[in-house]
Every structure is written in C-alpha cells, then in structure tokens.
Amino acid sequence: MKASALTADEAVLRKGSDILVEALLREGVEIIFGYPGGASMEIHQSLTRVPQGRLRMILPRHEQGAVFAAEGYAKATGKVGVVLATSGPGATNLVTGIADAKMDSVPLVAITGQVHQSLIGKDAFQETDVVGITRPITKHNYLVQRVEDLAHTIKEAFYIASTGRPGPVLVDVPKNVQQAQMIPKWPHEIKMRSYKPPTHAGVRELEQIARAIRSSKKPVIYAGNGIICGNASRALQQFAEKTGIPVAMTVLGLGSFPANHPLCLDMLGMHGAVYANYAVSQADLLLAFGVRFDDRVTGKVEEFAKHGRIVHVDLDSSEINKIKTAEIPVTSDVGYVLKKLNEMDLGSNDYSAWVEELQSIKKAKPFRYQDDGDRIMPQYVIELLSEKTGGKAIVTTGVGQHQMWTAQYFKFVYPRTLLTSAGLGAMGFGFPAALGAKLGRPDWQVIDIDGDGSFTMNIQELATAFVEDIPVKAIVLNNQHLGMVVQWEDRFYESNRAHTFIGDPRNPDAIYPDFVSIASGFGVPARRITKKSEVSDALDELLASEKPYVLDVVIPYTEHVLPMIPSGRTFDDTIY
C-alpha cells in the first residue's frame, strides 16, 4: 500500500525521514539538490510524499554538481541552500562544495545519510566519518543519534547556517534514525547559549569611525562579500554618496556598488584595476567593510595600505586583526554600521581632488587588451556580453583566467549577480551554480562564463539542465589549456609546459573535445565560433534561447590576465 502524503499537523507516529522532510518544509525550503543512495533512500521516499507544488527535488548527475548548485541558489537568493547525499562516497563528494561554502560564507545545509548506528566505526559498506571529515570546513555539524532530536537539529542547523557570518552546516542521519518512529514535537525558536552572533557596533566605535573620516583627506572604501551577505549594498551606496569616498571591491564584493557609478574603482588585488590598487596604496584612511584581507588582495601584507589608518568592520570577530592590524577594529553587522554612519555627522570634507586624481589614473591605465584581427579576444566577448545585457544578468564562473576577465570586463550593477568560487578557487563551480541560481531567480538571465578546463569538470550537469528544463546559458572560453597555470608558467617558469595542455596531444591543431557534440548528446543546443565577426550574432542567439545553451568560443591560449601583481609582491611590482 502506498504511503499517504505528508500532513503537517496530525499527532500521529511518523518515521524519522518524514519528520526530517517536514522540518525542511517548516524552514521554507522550496528546492533540494540531491542524489540518492542506500543510506538516504528513506529520505528520498519521504520526499515523494510531499504534496505536489510544495517542494522541488532536483536530481543532479554528481554530488559535487548538487552542492555547487545549492551554493548557486544560496548566493543568488540569500536563502539557505540545501543538498542531500547518501553515505560514504556520496558524502565525500560534497566535501569540496562544503569547503567552498565555508570560505565564501555561503548559507548551506548539507544532509547526509549514514549507515545504521550499530555499524558505525566498523568499516561498513559505504561508511565514512563525514562528521569528522567536515569538522574543519563547516560552521557546525551534527550526527543525529535519536529520532527525537531530528526536528530540533534541523531548525538549529538552519539558524546557524543563516545567522552571523553565514556558512555550511552538515547533518548526518543514520539509517535507523530515519526509520525510527515517534510523534514529532516542533520547536518554535532556537536558543543557544554557546552561539550568539554579534550584530551591533557600539556608539563609541561608531564615533571613532566618524572622527577618522572627518580627519581624512584621501579615504578609500574597501568593500567585500560582507556587504552582499549583509544585504548592505544600498546603505553602502548612500554612504559613498554622502561622503564622496570612492569604492574598490574584492571579487566577491563586485555588484555591492554599481560599476557604472562615478565613485566606483572596480576590483582591487592581484588582477585588480591599477587605479583601485593605487588608491589603496596612497590612501590615508582605508575603510574595510565586510572583508578579510585575503592574500590575493593584499600581496605583501606589511606593504598593503601602509600609509593609511585602517578601519575594519566585520561580523566575524576572528577576522579582525588576523591578517592586518586595524587601528579601529569593529565586530558588527556591516549594514548596521553603514546605516548608523549615514545618520551621523561625518564632516564636510571635499574629496573631489582625490577622486579626480584617481580618475586620471583610471584614464591613463584602464583595463585593456590588444585587438588581434579576427581572432576572438576573451575580454571582447565579456565586454560585449556586458553591453548587451546592461548588467541585468546573473553571471557564474569557474576558476581561472575566464574568472578574472569576467571580474574585470563585465560591469556588475546589482548585488548577487557574480557567483564564483573565490576563497577556495574550485574549478567546476560555474555551470552547476548557474543551475541553482536560475532555479532561485527564474526571472533573471543566468549565464555561466567558463573555461574549457572548469566546464569539463562538471559537464555532466548538462543532463540536469536538459531534463529539469533549466534554461541556463554557458559561454566556454576555450583555449585548450589550463590558462591561468599557463600564464604562471610563462611569467615564472620560462614557459615550460607542465601538463597544462588539455587538448589532444596527437592532433594539437584540432579543437578537442567537441563541446557542441557533447552538448547535443545531452539534448542541449550548442554552437562553436572561431572569428570575432561571429561573436555578436552568437551572443544574440544565446541570449534569445529559451532552452539551455552552450556557446563554445575558441580563443588564443597565449592571452594573459593583466594587470597582475605577482604573489607576495606590492603595487610597485604591477605587470601592466
């Protein structure tokens, strides 16, 4: 006899798996990305009993695709992404995505099936200690040992994942707990003595910041992912306009301040704009909002912003003074700080001469590339895509040169429109993340700008796009090489090629693999272009498609991402 649909309010015995699913529904979960197996079958069976329309289950073709899709959903919407996997290899296939979510502050709940409790620690079939494995890369994790704890654990997991600095939480559920029965009791609120995320700066700290601003002559805002996670983009723009202070952003901060704003300095750091890095090097006050002073931004730490006082505002107290000592350290929600500063007297300093100085640097040393006749320059493709969409698109990327070209040449106007693996730098992120983003924000055009190396790593998710009818687009900048590693080989290893050619060594002049044929085999329309004259029409075709679409763009492998500050060096060492 088929089990009846889940009902929320009946005081009846329920299996643990049914309680788990109902707990997810009570958290507002609309989409789960998951791949079934022996230790998670009970949960999947319970999912089939959810009334139609209440929840959508997406079956990816690999667990890594599932967790990246859940991240894409979370990054694009600000909601908690949910991923489900079985024990053993299913759980371990989530590890890269969980680590990525930890590094990039992504709210994520990963649920894994586990072997029967009586088998734990006995090397049972498909057993791994996923709680132990993920302890260093989660915000918190759980091994649920009693069915009575399930409802409360799920609610607690969502609370931890979404509050304070967002991050991943893993819940490991043994099969016997899934099968056990009880009459559930639903918790209404979560109180945790051991977890109280800080939220508000004090009056004294706010006044210290205000005094620093009033006494500065060359201030710069250094804005990061904390602005986006804290939904503080509007407050940041109000603050910049109120004070006249220019804004430079990290790669994860792009979109937090409009790229078309006259105070925007674009991205700073290793492959950032010369004018952004110049601004930081000359600033007498660095307002670091929602950042963690990553090495790709600072280069040689002791030389970074050495002429200026540093105000560091971040929700995570462990980031304060971890890399760079701040004269004014503030542990607080950055949105709250900006809101309060916008209400305060910040003086009437005129920074126009400072802004004009930076604009002159921007005019003299903009992002640039050389036209190469009818060969396709990757920067041109991204620049034209940005113009055609007007920034009204969510863009995902893999990791490598294409990621940095996207950050440089696509003008991000809105928050949550650049989704990329920044801290971990996980190749294969782009396409599955695009699937999650499109499901979360279906009214937006969602485009994965990828490299041939990154795209191939999760190419199987073309099947998910086709079967689930998710109309995401992929632009594959195809240079037959692991481009960023090749660039480092050229710059620092005398162009000695160490396993960075990913084409066919027996026929190096051929374009391999044939992405058009591969996409066609998955049922996805695709096109290859090799000439600059084809780019505009091909982009129009891609943007107009109402189905998943792959555009294979053949580019030269000799092109480098510039400017570049070599690792551990300073602004004075910029290669331009």
Tell me: the pLDDT tens digits for 512-536? 999 999 999 999 999 999 999 999 9
> Residue 10: pLDDT band by 50, 70, 90 thresholds?
low
Q: Alpha carbon of 517 to those of 421, 470, 514, 547, 552: distances in Å? A: 28, 20, 6, 17, 11
Tell me: the pLDDT tens digits for 308-321? 999 999 999 999 99
Confidence at residue 4, expressed as pLDDT on a 0 to 100 scale:
40
What is the spatial distance between Cα 157 and Cα 139, in angstroms, rounded to a whole number? Answer: 10
Tell me: the pLDDT tens digits for 475-490? 999 999 999 999 999 9
Reply yes or no on whether the pLDDT at 56 is more than 50: yes
What is the spatial distance between Cα 573 and Cα 354, in angstroms, rounded to a whole number? Answer: 23
What is the spatial distance between Cα 246 and Cα 262, in angstroms, rounded to a whole number? Answer: 8
At residue 519's C-alpha, the angle toward residues 513 and 520, to 5°, is 115
Report, at the CATH architecture level, how domain 14-182 is classified.
Answer: 3-Layer(aba) Sandwich (3.40)
86, two tokens: 């079985």
What is the spatial distance between Cα 254 and Cα 186, in angstroms, rounded to a whole number? Answer: 40
> Residue 442: pLDDT band by 50, 70, 90 thresholds?
very high
Reply yes or no on whether the pLDDT at 65 is more than 50: yes
Q: Alpha carbon of 389 to those of 107, 383, 417, 541, 543: distances in Å? A: 28, 10, 12, 13, 9
Reply yes or no on whether the pLDDT at 6 is more than 70: no
Residue extents of the structural domains in the chain = 14-182, 203-364, 378-554
Reply yes or no on whether the pLDDT at 429 is more than 70: yes
Element (H, E) at 140: strand 140-143
Cis status of the peptide bond prior to 566, with omega within 30 of 0:
no
Tell me: the pLDDT tens digits for 301-311? 999 999 999 99
Reply yes or no on whether the pLDDT at 7 is more than 60: no
Catalytic residue among 139, 175, 324, 411: 175
Is residue 484 annotated as part of the catalytic site, yes or no? yes
Element (H, E) at 142: strand 140-143
> Residue 567: pLDDT band by 50, 70, 90 thresholds?
very high
> Within the chain, how many helices (H) and strands (E) appear?
23, 20
Please tell me which residue, 190 or 254, carries the higher pLDDT value: 254
Residue 419 φ/ψ, nearest 5 degrees: -115, 115
Is residue 1 annotated as part of the catalytic site, yes or no? no
**What is the layout of strands, in order, in the sheet containing 526-529?**
418-419, 394-397, 446-451, 473-478, 549-554, 526-529
Confidence at residue 191, expressed as pLDDT on a 0 to 100 scale:
87
> Residue 2: pLDDT band by 50, 70, 90 thresholds?
very low
Mean pLDDT score, 177-190? 95
Tell me: the pLDDT tens digits for 16-35? 999 999 999 999 999 999 99
Tell me: the pLDDT tens digits for 353-402? 999 999 999 999 999 999 989 999 999 999 999 999 999 999 999 999 99
Q: Quick count: other Cβ atoms within 10 Å of Cβ 123?
A: 9
Mean pLDDT score, 211-215? 97
Distance of CA 292 to the CA centre of its chain: 15
What is the spatial distance between Cα 397 and Cα 453, in angstroms, rounded to a whole number? Answer: 12
Mean pLDDT score, 140-162? 98
Is residue 303 annotated as part of the catalytic site, yes or no? no
Task: Answer yes or no: are the C-beta atoms of 87 and 58 closer than 8 Å.
Answer: no
CATH number of 378-554: 3.40.50.970
| Largest interatomic CA distance in the chain | 78
Name the burial class of residue 379, with classes exposed (0-12), middle (13-18) and buried (19+) by CB atoms within 10 angstroms of its CB: buried
Task: Answer yes or no: are the C-beta atoms of 288 and 440 closer than 8 Å.
Answer: no
Q: Is 551 helix (H, G, I), strand (E, B) or coil?
A: strand
Mean pLDDT score, 118-132? 96
Confidence at residue 5, expressed as pLDDT on a 0 to 100 scale:
45
Confidence at residue 218, expressed as pLDDT on a 0 to 100 scale:
98
Reply yes or no on whether the pLDDT at 431 is more than 70: yes
Confidence at residue 576, expressed as pLDDT on a 0 to 100 scale:
95
Catalytic residue among 22, 63, 71, 205: 63
Q: Alpha carbon of 221 to those of 210, 253, 279: distances in Å? A: 14, 12, 10
DSSP string for residues in 66-131 = HHHHHHHHHHHHSSPEEEEE-STHHHHTTHHHHHHHHHTT--EEEEEEE--GGGTTTT-TT---HH
Is residue 179 annotated as part of the catalytic site, yes or no? no
Q: Alpha carbon of 244 to those of 248, 310, 337: distances in Å? A: 13, 18, 17
Please tell me which residue, 7 or 519, carries the higher pLDDT value: 519
Catalytic residue among 249, 404, 427, 484: 484
> Residue 9: pLDDT band by 50, 70, 90 thresholds?
low
Confidence at residue 196, expressed as pLDDT on a 0 to 100 scale:
87
Name the burial class of residue 501, with classes exposed (0-12), middle (13-18) and buried (19+) by CB atoms within 10 angstroms of its CB: middle
CATH 3.30.56.10 holds for 203-364: no
Residue 236: name the closest of 287, 166, 307 by CA.
287
101, two tokens: 């979510």
Compute the mean pLDDT over every residue in the chain, rounded to the nearest whole number.
96
What is the spatial distance between Cα 295 and Cα 179, in angstroms, rounded to a whole number? Answer: 48
Is residue 41 annotated as part of the catalytic site, yes or no? no
Catalytic residue among 45, 117, 126, 145: 126
Element (H, E) at 151: helix 150-162
Tell me: the pLDDT tens digits for 249-301? 999 999 999 999 999 999 999 999 999 999 999 999 999 999 999 999 999 99
Q: Quick count: other Cβ atoms within 10 Å of Cβ 546?
A: 7
Reply yes or no on whether the pLDDT at 76 is more than 50: yes
Q: Do domains 203-364 and 378-554 have the same CATH topology?
A: yes
Q: Quick count: other Cβ atoms within 10 Å of Cβ 189?
A: 6
Q: Alpha carbon of 539 to those of 176, 509, 526, 543, 549: distances in Å? A: 52, 25, 12, 6, 11
For the question of whether the overall pTM of this predicted structure is more than 0.85, the answer is yes
Candidate from 92-101, 183-192, 512-521 with smallest mean pLDDT? 183-192
Q: Quick count: other Cβ atoms within 10 Å of Cβ 323?
A: 17
